[in-house]
Amino acid sequence: MNATPRLLGGRYEIGDLLGRGGMAEVHLGRDTRLGRTVAIKMLRSDLARDPSFQARFRREAQSAAGLNHPAIVAVYDSGEEPAVEGGVPVPYIVMEYVEGRTLRELAAPGRPMPWREALTVMSGVLAALAYSHRAGIVHRDIKPANVMVTPTGDVKVMDFGIARAIADSSATMTQTQAVIGTAQYLSPEQARGETVDARSDLYSAGCLMFELLTGRPPFVADSPVAVAYQHVGEQAPAPSSVADDVPDAVDAIVLHALQKERGGRYQTADDFRDDVDAVLSGRRISSAALGAVAGAAAAGAATEALGAVPAAAATTTLPAAVPEAAILPDNGRDDDDTPNRTGLWVLLGLLAAALLAVAVLVLPGMLGSGGPDTPVAQKVAVPDLSGKTVEEATAALKAKGLTLGEQTTRADDTVPQDQIIEQDPASGAQVDEGTAVAVVVSTGPESVGVPDLVGKTKAQAKAALEQAGLQLGDVTETDTTEQEKGRVMSSNPSSGDQVAKDTKVAIEIASGKVKVPNVIGQPLADATTTLTDAGLKVKAVKYEVSTQPEGTVTSQTHQNDTVEQGTVIELVIAKAAPSTPTETATPTETATPTPTSTGTPTD
């Protein structure tokens, strides 16, 4: 055994095997240059000879390398290990090493999460998807095994192995018409082998959310093909039908995400996340999600009335499978690694083809050929839905035997938010019972962001507002030293606020004036600082003898006045009175007393 660690690119030491997937093995690694632990994903050597697998592996590196978000596992580097002994170069990806457990480990079958914890995890997953979708990348394989939760509770989405750019309009979920993905989390369009977009990820996220809440996927069957059929043809149950502690609002969110038609789902991950966060914070969820509950109930009633559709009939929506295929079982890894993997895919392909053939034979009899035994659909008039909310429209359509179809939104200056602007088919049109009516729902007046006006002149602020579709409102002047004269200090609404078009924005402008502070009694140095900080100039006019402490201000000009910035303030500073020397008294000469003559005694 060679004790020297294997080195990739002259930099990355390969350590223990962490796991295997359908395309790659993941090893613990160490970046010898930066001294950090990494995860190294290497394309399996048995697949490295296949150009299609090499291309897909490189695409993962390219897809994930441009995504820099705290909820997405970061890609640091990629390269190819040179061929050894006549072999082929093996591509590798160097990624952030994340300590934690996957949702497959945390939410094992039959062990649901508390609903608040599940919503917190979903908020992180949707934040990652919102970021990747804005970057133009669809993940295409959202499932519990591809989401990790760190010991600190952070969510990390990983494995962009089958991700593609949204702009690649030819990017379907098929490889020679074979479905790629994990059956329990496939969107209906993925199961049909159609072109996918960001909304396909949101359906898969809805499946993930259902499983976190209930401990089981929304659809369960004996085979991946049968599960894929259910995604295409069966209405998802409400999570509360499995876990009775799930609130109605959470049911509504999941059912909205699991709509069969893309137009009926959340249109962005941000919208999905907004509703999740709304429930967590006790706010009302969107009307579109609330409408999904009514739509699900109507669809459930219709299914019950018509009876179950044989599995063979539904396989008309599934593409024929081929050896590369396809619908992957979710065993906590990317796919099955048994030696008979290729044979299994061939068997599944043959099964799908056989079901398709049966469907071709059975469907004409089920659907009828227009003969005398075929019931004629009843015609009904489409009601006028304009001005109604989604809930009201759903009830009006149900009363006519119709259903609510695709819901899109649009800003409108005249129709209030959450009310219907347009419908298709139009009001009064004669249609078959069961027809879905698409609607356009108003989001209210078009909103725009208030631009940053601070520091601009009044004219510049007005121009910036008009360019943003807003108007200049009230202008007030404020005495301040924080801005130059004539410059905007603040706006109301504030910068970045979303407001209706043509909203008036008030601004506060620096007047260029200041109130002169009272500095009498302050030492000259302190007074000078106070005045200059206020935007004024200082001039000490004179020093006067004062009884005030020497060096302090005894008087000033413009005391407590409001003046223009830069005004000169004159100060009078106290000085001590000069000391007068004390005069010494001149000594006074004292006269010497004349002795008194004593009389001569007389005889």
Residues 299, 187 share a domain: yes
Residues 203, 64 share a domain: no
pLDDT classification of 182: cutoffs 50, 70, 90: confident
Which residue, 60, 76, 97, sits at the end of a domain? Answer: 97
364 has a pLDDT exceeding 90: no
Residues 266, 208 share a domain: yes
Kindly compute the dihedral angle of the four CA atoms of residues 80, 85, 88, 89, in this order, to the nearest 10 degrees: 0
The predicted pLDDT at position 307 comes to 36
What's the pLDDT tens digit per position in 545-568?
Answer: 888 899 999 999 998 888 888 899
Q: Which residues are catalytic, by number?
A: 141
Which region among 22-31, 200-209, 215-224, 264-273 has the lowest average model confidence (pLDDT)?
22-31
d(CA 182, CA 228): 9
Residues 438, 305 share a domain: no
Q: What is the pTM of this model?
A: 0.51
Residues 4, 92 share a domain: yes
Residues 120, 20 share a domain: no
Residues 299, 191 share a domain: yes
What's the pLDDT tens digit per position in 452-491?
Answer: 999 899 999 999 999 888 999 999 988 877 778 889 989 9
End-to-end CA distance of the chain: 164
d(CA 42, CA 24): 5
Q: What does the block give as tokens for 83?
A: 């061929």
363 domain residue, yes or no: no
pLDDT classification of 294: cutoffs 50, 70, 90: low
Q: What does the block give as tokens for 138?
A: 């669809």
Residues 166, 298 share a domain: yes
Domain count, the chain: 5
Whether 155 and 342 have beta carbons less than 8 Å apart is answered as: no
Q: How many CB atoms neighbour CB 372 within 10 A?
A: 5
d(CA 442, CA 347): 50
Residues 468, 393 share a domain: no
Residues 90, 105 share a domain: no
249 domain residue, yes or no: yes
Q: How many CB atoms neighbour CB 245 within 10 A?
A: 11
The predicted pLDDT at position 53 comes to 73
Edge to edge, the sheet with strand 403-410 lists 403-410, 436-442, 420-424
483 domain residue, yes or no: yes
Residues 276, 198 share a domain: yes
585 domain residue, yes or no: no
Residues 270, 129 share a domain: yes
Which region among 77-91, 340-354, 407-421 has the lowest average model confidence (pLDDT)?
340-354
583 domain residue, yes or no: no
360 has a pLDDT exceeding 80: no
Q: What is the mean pLDDT of the chain?
A: 78
Full residue range of the structural domain in which residue 477 is found: 447-511
What's the pLDDT tens digit per position in 329-343?
Answer: 444 444 433 334 444
Which residue, 442, 459, 478, sits at the end of a domain? Answer: 442
Whether 37 and 30 have beta carbons less than 8 Å apart is answered as: yes
pLDDT classification of 175: cutoffs 50, 70, 90: very low
CATH code, domain with 567: 3.30.10.20
